[in-house]
Amino acid sequence: MTSATDIKQLLQHHGIQPSVQRVAIAEHVLATDRHPSADQVLQEVQRKLPVVSRATVYNTLKLFVEKGLLRQYQIAEGPTVYDANIERHHHLIDEETGRVIDIPWDAVEVKNVEGLEGFEVDSYMVVLRGRRRDGS
Amino acid sequence: MTSATDIKQLLQHHGIQPSVQRVAIAEHVLATDRHPSADQVLQEVQRKLPVVSRATVYNTLKLFVEKGLLRQYQIAEGPTVYDANIERHHHLIDEETGRVIDIPWDAVEVKNVEGLEGFEVDSYMVVLRGRRRDGS
DNA sequence: CTATAAAATTAGACATTGTCTAATTTGGGA
DNA sequence: TCCCAAATTAGACAATGTCTAATTTTATAG
Ligand SMILES: [Mn+2]
Ligand SMILES: [Mn+2]
Ligand SMILES: [Zn+2]
Ligand SMILES: [Zn+2]
């Protein structure tokens, strides 16, 4: 449960003025484990708060990324998606639905990244393609 | 060295009519270890063959992907890129230049992908972010 | 409380990337 | 050579994202 006041405080602690629009956007995008695109966020938010513009959604998502509240990825076909999970983790793309699913960092093991010759690596993730197994 | 006749045979062996445009596109896109976008391919090819249209470049790249001559990725910011390296391998995104660099499959080791609970995995790659080390 | 200025929001223009259609051109084979 | 299916093409259209200039909202100084 993240109440509206909690959201406001969270934004303020990150140096973000909690306007009505920003709180509404935060409530949706920070609470989901989906990986919505900017236009999906716009659709969702407009149901609760009809007076929000496309420009504000794009501006706000960018702001949240800059302030470290969100990550932004371009991993599958289609538009940039936003990710409220800011811990390091991997991603699986469901090839049937196109949906991006979080995979815990320790679910797979990646070795020898530090020893990679000729490169300095800041971060990495495994991107998998497949599908959910039936009972899941 | 991949000569024009070699290219023609390669296309024919993949069931592709080797038109002038397709050969010109193949010469560029199959010979590079860069990861060009469709519009980059268009720019390059038009220098040698001014009579090639945007539609043909998009159509041809799609055809090459369907026929297994090319891979298509959406890994970094920006447009879809095409990859002549059809062996499995990983990718590093140079954060300074934005360039995508191939990393050999055995340069890093990924474990426990088969044991991933709840998912069936068809393929995977490690996507790293960083930069070339000075003398490289 | 009111005035002022800065910050936030907005509509819509614009750019880029990609798809599609309908018309034209090309070229392989009878 | 002729025919016709395949290939190419220009340009319309759609989706995604950026930018600008005008308007609205909000914080705060007086
Ligand atoms: Mn995620
Ligand atoms: Mn590659
Ligand atoms: Zn809640
Ligand atoms: Zn060569």
Min Cα distance A3 → chain B (Å) is: 32
Domain residue limits, chain B: 4-82, 87-130
Q: Give the residue from B77, B111, B123, B128 with the most A CB atoms within 10 Å of its CB, the best one to mutate.
A: B128
pLDDT band at B35 (very low <50, low <70, confident <90, very high): very high
Residues in chain A with CB shorter than 8 Å from the CB of B107 are 112, 116-117
Would you call A80 exposed, middle or buried from its count of C-beta atoms within 10 A (0-12, 13-18, 19+)?
middle
Q: What is the mean pLDDT of chain A?
A: 95
Residue B134 makes CB contacts below 8 A (sequence gap 6+) with none
pLDDT band at B136 (very low <50, low <70, confident <90, very high): low
Can you tell me the mean pLDDT for B66-86? 97
Specify the fold of A87-130: Dna Ligase; domain 1 (3.30.1490)
Residue B103 CA to residue B107 CA, distance in Å, equals 7
Residues in chain A with CB shorter than 8 Å from the CB of B96 are none
CB interface of B with A, residues 95-124, below 8 Å: 95, 101, 103, 107-113, 116-124
Nucleotides of C under 7 A from a protein CB: 7-12, 16-21, 26-28
Write down the pTM of the prediction. 0.92
Q: Do A120 and B103 touch (CB under 8 A)?
A: no
Residues in chain A with CB shorter than 8 Å from the CB of B125 are 126-127
pLDDT band at A4 (very low <50, low <70, confident <90, very high): confident
Return the bridge partners of A96, or none.
none
CATH of domain A4-82: 1.10.10.10
User: Contact at 8 Å (CB) between B77 and B94?
Assistant: no
Tokens of A29: 């995008």
Secondary structure element (H or E) that encloses residue A85, with its range: none
User: Contact at 8 Å (CB) between A126 and A108?
Assistant: yes
Can you tell me the mean pLDDT for A83-92? 98
C1' (C17) to CA (B38) span, angstroms: 9
Min Cα distance B111 → chain A (Å) is: 5
In the A/B pair of chains, how many CB contacts fall below 8 A?
118
